[in-house]
Amino acid sequence: MDFLTVIIVLIVIFALLFDFINGFHDTANAIATSVSTKALTPRRAIILAAVMNFVGALTFTGVAQTITSEITDPFKLDNGLAVILAALVAAIIWNLLTWYAGIPSSSSHAIIGAITGAVIVSAGLQAIHFQGFLSIIEALIFSPILAFVIGFILYGIIKVIFKNSNLAKTNKRFRLVQILTASVQSFAHGTNDAQKSMGIITMALIVGGMHTTTDIPFWVQASCATAMALGTSIGGWRIIKTVGGKIMKIRPVNGVAADLTGAAVIFGATLIHLPVSTTHVISSGILGVGASHRPKGVNWGVAKRMVVTWVITLPITAALGGVIFYILNLFL
């Protein structure tokens, strides 16, 4: 096996590791509300999320193609394999740090920031496709705002419809509905998040001369879907505790509104081929629902901590990606 092939295999392994970590880092968000309201037991929620993420990841490839070609041109990228490997290592380091701290940080921000930083150090600012890059950043910024607004409005509508209903009976019914909404949100998560690793692997194949288009090979889809499903089945409890309980006390009716909000925004982004942070979207949806339900019941301190982490992720991972690329480039 020649050196080039070894590096590509290494990139594939790191990309699948990133997807695996993403599984227990981000996918926990999709089932946090259903676990906290006891609509599902933790074991059943994890199995449900793993299956639906797997199915979602196999269904679409548009976001993967955006990651492959919209940040930079993989066909013209000098030292491209070192750039991709550096980005993956930087994103994995950041994801593990925030997971250990129990902070629902964004894997999307991490990988996009890391790729950008590594590309800039490798080839300068001119190597960045600013139109494509800015469209991705806009999606990352506006999607949580949209989720907050939709969550606020949707829960307001639900309150009006069920204002005269028996609270205990309503919560019981919504607990059953929440099984469906958790499934839908997990599916939506798979259609967007798993594709980021697909795009990274395809980019590496192009740079290494093993692939000639931005179309995503099926083996890449299947392996990334499997890695995320396995990650989902193993981890996630730290993030579940933060998203499912520390933002606000979630009842089944709140959970349904938050799940529908997250699924709608994430799936909408998938349809227009834009990567969004499922962490941002789901957490902001919960915040919107909480603000609509009872603003004083929202733990705005936790929300502030999350927002700070979201803001610093891009610059920190960009810097980390650039530094790691510089080190790797000395040896590759």
pLDDT the model gives residue 107: 82
The upper half-sphere exposure of residue 306, i.e. CA atoms within 13 Å in the direction of its Cβ, equals 25
3-class state of residue 296 by DSSP? helix
* Residue 128, strand partner residues: 72
Lowest-confidence pick of 44-53, 97-106, 312-321: 97-106
Distance, CA of 293 to CA of 284 (rounded, Å): 14
- Buried b / exposed e over 88-125, threshold 16 CB at 10 Å, is bbbbbbbbeebbeeebbbbbbbbbbbbbbbbbbbbbee
144 or 165, which is more confident: 144
Instruction: Check if the beta carbon of residue 250 is closer than 8 Å to that of residue 36.
Output: yes
- C-alpha closest to that of 279 among 246, 307, 320: 307
The upper half-sphere exposure of residue 62, i.e. CA atoms within 13 Å in the direction of its Cβ, equals 15
Distance, CA of 121 to CA of 127 (rounded, Å): 10
* Residue 72, strand partner residues: 128
Q: pLDDT tens for residues 6-15?
A: 999 999 999 9
Mean pLDDT along residues 245-274: 86
Instruction: Check if the beta carbon of residue 109 is closer than 8 Å to that of residue 313.
Output: yes
Name the phi and psi angles at 65, rounded to 5: -70, -35
Instruction: Check if the beta carbon of residue 90 is closer than 8 Å to that of residue 117.
Output: yes
Instruction: Check if the beta carbon of residue 33 is closer than 8 Å to that of residue 250.
Output: yes
Distance, CA of 280 to CA of 272 (rounded, Å): 18
Reading the block at residue 207, the tokens are 């740079």
- Measured on CA atoms in the order 261, 267, 269, 271, is the torsion positive or negative? negative
Q: pLDDT tens for residues 233-242?
A: 776 555 555 5
User: In whole numbers, what is the pLDDT of the chain averaged over residues?
Assistant: 87
Amino acid at 8: I
Lowest-confidence pick of 42-51, 84-93, 134-143, 197-206: 42-51
Q: pLDDT tens for residues 268-281?
A: 999 999 999 888 89
Q: Read off the DSSP letter of residue 246.
A: I
Mean pLDDT along residues 317-332: 92
User: 């190597």: which residue's tokens?
Assistant: 127
